[in-house]
Amino acid sequence: MTTYNADYYKGQFITQPSSKVRKGKWDGTVKLFYDKITLVDTTGLLGLNAADEIDLGFLPQNAHIVDAYVKIDKSLGATGIFQLGTRATKDIDEATLAEDPNSLINSANAGGQAVLQRVVHNSVGLREYGAKTQLFLTCTEVMDDSVIDAVLEVYVLFVNA
């Protein structure tokens, strides 16, 4: 049997002189970003077509996203698919990250049923962002006009590193 050391453990306890583990890597408190919007038909306040976007709030500098959900409380008829992503920003090494409309959730499909879509394990949005980062939703399929009161909620869990 072989024992291996994880990077931060090795830096803290094996390597001499030891290196500090950045705040949030071992003892970070998970925080919640939450926002919601009521989706109404085209005769109401909001009629969503393909490529329409909904701006959400900002995550603080050095936020490390660890999980995300999009919840739609009822069927949007035969249509209604949304993506969750991030606007252009910078990563922890100050490299520019392009806008990515589906970096967290590629398809929250409420066509025919309510949906609670969670981020998948290999989403590129599960990372640390070096700058304040805005979240946004994109409608990828025109909404059915028969739905007048569905609530779309976004939950993003993150740690400040």
What's residue 43's pLDDT? Answer: 53
User: Residue 70's domain is classified under what CATH number?
Assistant: 2.60.120
Is the residue at 115 inside a domain? yes
What's residue 7's pLDDT? Answer: 82
What's residue 4's pLDDT? Answer: 86
What's residue 109's pLDDT? Answer: 92
In one letter, which amino acid is 16? Q
Is the residue at 12 inside a domain? no
Is the residue at 76 inside a domain? yes
Is the residue at 22 inside a domain? no
Residues of the chain with confidence (pLDDT) below 50? 42
Q: Range of 66's domain?
A: 28-160
